[in-house]
């Protein structure tokens, strides 16, 4: 096989130069060793350093990024980095709180990373490590420390990055990472060999109709060489082997990775996943997230691996935290690049850092706008409306995880992310409208920003909650309680016309319609009393959704199984009215 290289001795050096050059907005190369360094790093946290042999791209250098690793120590093709590379790479990103190393469990990696750690410890730098041993085919359970690390690296690095980014100390970050490691199981199969750059022959040879079952990531022998089998047969056998190595049972939740080894197409990976999902469904095991990609490769090796990552509530929290690198992203940090935040991120700043509106990495713990001490509002000026909607935007964004959890029970889990993203866009627009004199224009602009950014049904429906009622209204500088009630009635009518939902269909209408009725019944009592009544009516409507089967959305197919769960859209409506009341009340 001909490789597109210059000289075999320079493959890793030139590869890293090209990789860092292509993504220079994110990375720099260590000047003295083959280390990839993240430019924008969160200050004052445990540093996460990953690494191993090159040739598995995008693992490991491609998993350096925001919410992932701070650096990767890269060895030669399929060879561990030397201790000095480990030491120098870690020194470049250490922030005073210690270094957590994550790498695959191979003899060379274990020896070299151990020596690198010793060199750091001699200088008073705290270190610890988590070795990934997810390959269930490589050793029995009673010798788990002899198992290899393969594609399970993806989930372990994801969780380790989130734990470090969350500010956990070294001991706690290692504990969470170890839990992720111990909940991750993988098995692989090879259909064709890889060939090292500069070497004339493949690492191993397979007959025309042979496959290597339980293959490692460097061409290591598997547990069985057998005849070619169909995708469904392979997937069922591999799933069974993983299942035997876990305590998975009905009701448990997993993330699934079907990983290509280098030359396997997404088409093939998808066919394998189809069977894996069928088997999980049969066993009553829920899929929280799934990936089909070539993340942990072996040059051009043919074949794939299946990884199951078993979640509990703690691991789900860290898995849900956003991360971004050019080759791997989760949560809201998906885009061409991310915002520079001088207060939190140190290290080298990118010269072409994007504008703040490109991505949202802000963790909103509570609404940022406050009216404390300013008394109860009796009417809503345009500026009051703008600040109220800013308050609601932050409130909804702070509830992203809560809304995601509710939606995950009977939907596809994206409602919290969608609402948070839409509210972020609304906030950006509202921040540009200081000095606006038309209160209706404020509502309309926020609604349009949501409508144009959220996607899915929620974008249309919740965008209309603000936009439809304000559309074509004669400009007013101040809105009364009656004006607000009239506007929301108009929005409700538009939403019902567009979505065709009625009370009892387990949608946001179940909360919105009683809230609007309460506004109309109580608008004569003033703004605060009206919104108190609307908030309570929305809450009751939300609670009523637990009694209903669903007529729309993902939950429709669940029929009676959706009973007992509240609707996520109705929950968002209640939170919005709660936010209105809180702001008006001061």
Residue 2: count of CB within 10 angstroms of its CB: 5
Q: What are phi and psi of 225, to 5 degrees?
A: -105, 125
3-state secondary structure 214-225: CCCCCCCCCCEE
Contacts of 78 (CB under 8 A, 6+ apart): 53, 54, 55, 196, 218, 219, 298
Q: How far apart are CA 310 and CA 245, in angstroms?
A: 12
Q: Quick one: which H or E segment has residue 72?
A: strand 71-77
- Where do the H-state alpha helices sit in 69-169? 83-93, 107-121, 153-165
Alpha carbon 411 to its chain's center: 17
Contacts of 86 (CB under 8 A, 6+ apart): 49, 51, 73, 101, 112, 113, 115, 116, 117
What is residue 168's three-state secondary structure?
A: coil
- Cβ atoms of 137 and 223 within 8 Å: the answer is yes
Alpha carbon 354 to its chain's center: 21
Annotation marks residue 218 as catalytic: yes
Q: How far apart are CA 424 and CA 33, in angstroms?
A: 41
- Where do the H-state alpha helices sit in 399-480? 400-410, 415-431, 439-451, 456-470
- Cβ atoms of 560 and 408 within 8 Å: the answer is no
Q: How far apart are CA 121 and CA 523, in angstroms?
A: 68
- Beta strands of 319-445 (E only): which ranges? 323-325, 328-330, 345-346, 380-381
Catalytic residue (one of 56, 129, 218, 415)? 218
Residue 244: count of CB within 10 angstroms of its CB: 11
- Cβ atoms of 266 and 216 within 8 Å: the answer is no
Residues in the chain, overall count: 586
What are the helix and strand counts (H, E) for the chain? 17, 18
Strands 253-260 and 224-227: unpaired
3-state secondary structure 474-510: CCCCEECHHHHHHHHHHHHHHHHHHHCCCCCCCCCHH
Cis peptide before 58 (omega within 30 of 0): yes
Comparing C-alpha atoms, which of 276, 51, 31, 282 is closest to residue 160? 51
Angle CA 563–569–573, to nearest 5: 120
Active site residues: 218
């Amino acid at each position: 096989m001909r490789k597109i290289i210059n000289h075999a001795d320079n493959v890793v050096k030139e590869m890293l130069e090209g990789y860092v050059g292509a993504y220079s907005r994110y990375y720099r190369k260590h000047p003295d060793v083959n280390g990839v360094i993240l430019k924008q790093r969160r200050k004052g946290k445990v540093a996460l350093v990953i690494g191993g042999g090159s040739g598995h791209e995008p693992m490991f250098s491609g998993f350096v990024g925001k919410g992932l690793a701070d650096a990767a120590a890269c060895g030669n093709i399929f060879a561990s980095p030397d201790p000095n590379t480990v030491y120098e790479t870690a020194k470049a990103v250490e922030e005073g709180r210690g270094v957590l190393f994550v790498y695959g469990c191979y003899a060379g990696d274990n020896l070299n990373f151990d020596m690198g750690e010793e060199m750091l410890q001699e200088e008073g730098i705290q270190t610890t490590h988590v070795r990934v041993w997810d390959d269930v085919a490589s050793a029995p359970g009673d010798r788990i420390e002899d198992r290899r690390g393969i594609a399970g690296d993806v989930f372990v690095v994801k969780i380790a990055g989130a734990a470090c980014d969350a500010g956990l100390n070294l001991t706690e970050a290692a504990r969470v990472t170890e839990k992720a490691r111990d909940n991750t199981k993988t098995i692989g199969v090879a259909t064709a060999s890889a060939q090292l750059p500069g070497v004339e022959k493949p690492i191993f040879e397979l007959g025309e109709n042979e496959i290597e079952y339980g293959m490692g990531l460097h061409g290591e022998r598997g547990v069985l060489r057998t005849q070619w089998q169909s995708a469904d047969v392979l997937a069922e056998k591999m799933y069974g082997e993983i299942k035997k190595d876990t305590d998975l049972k009905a009701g448990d939740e997993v993330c699934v990775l079907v990983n290509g080894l280098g030359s396997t197409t997404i088409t093939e990976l998808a066919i394998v996943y189809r069977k894996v999902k069928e088997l999980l469904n049969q066993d009553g095991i829920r899929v929280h997230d799934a990936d089909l990609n070539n993340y942990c490769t072996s040059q051009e090796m043919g074949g794939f691996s299946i990884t199951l990552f078993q979640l509990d509530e703690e691991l789900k929290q860290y898995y849900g935290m956003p991360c971004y690198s050019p080759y791997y992203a989760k949560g809201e940090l998906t885009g061409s690049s991310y915002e520079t935040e001088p207060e939190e991120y140190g290290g080298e700043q990118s010269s072409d850092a994007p504008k703040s509106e490109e991505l949202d990495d802000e963790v909103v713990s509570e609404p940022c706008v406050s009216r404390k001490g300013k008394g109860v509002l009796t009417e809503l000026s345009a500026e009051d409306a703008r600040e109220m909607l800013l308050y609601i935007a932050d409130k909804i964004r702070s509830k992203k995880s809560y809304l995601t959890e509710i939606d995950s029970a009977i939907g596809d889990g994206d409602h919290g992310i969608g609402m948070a993203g839409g509210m972020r866009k609304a906030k950006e627009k509202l921040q540009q409208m200081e000095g606006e004199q038309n209160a209706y224009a404020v509502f309309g602009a926020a609604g349009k920003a949501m409508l144009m950014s959220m996607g899915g049904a929620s974008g249309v429906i919740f965008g209309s909650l603000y936009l439809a009622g304000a559309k074509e209204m004669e400009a007013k500088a101040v809105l009364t309680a009656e004006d607000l009630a009239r506007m929301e009635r108009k929005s409700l009518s538009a939403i019902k016309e567009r979505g065709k939902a009625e009370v009892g269909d387990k949608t946001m209408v179940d909360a919105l319609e009683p809230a609007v009725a309460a506004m109309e019944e109580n608008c004569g009592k003033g703004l605060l009393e009206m919104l108190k009544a609307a908030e309570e009516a929305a809450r009751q409507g939300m609670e009523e959704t637990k009694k209903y089967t669903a007529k729309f959305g993902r939950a429709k197919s669940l029929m009676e199984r959706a009973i007992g769960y509240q609707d996520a859209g109705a929950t968002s409506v209640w939170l919005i009215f709660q936010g209105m009341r809180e702001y008006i009340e001061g």
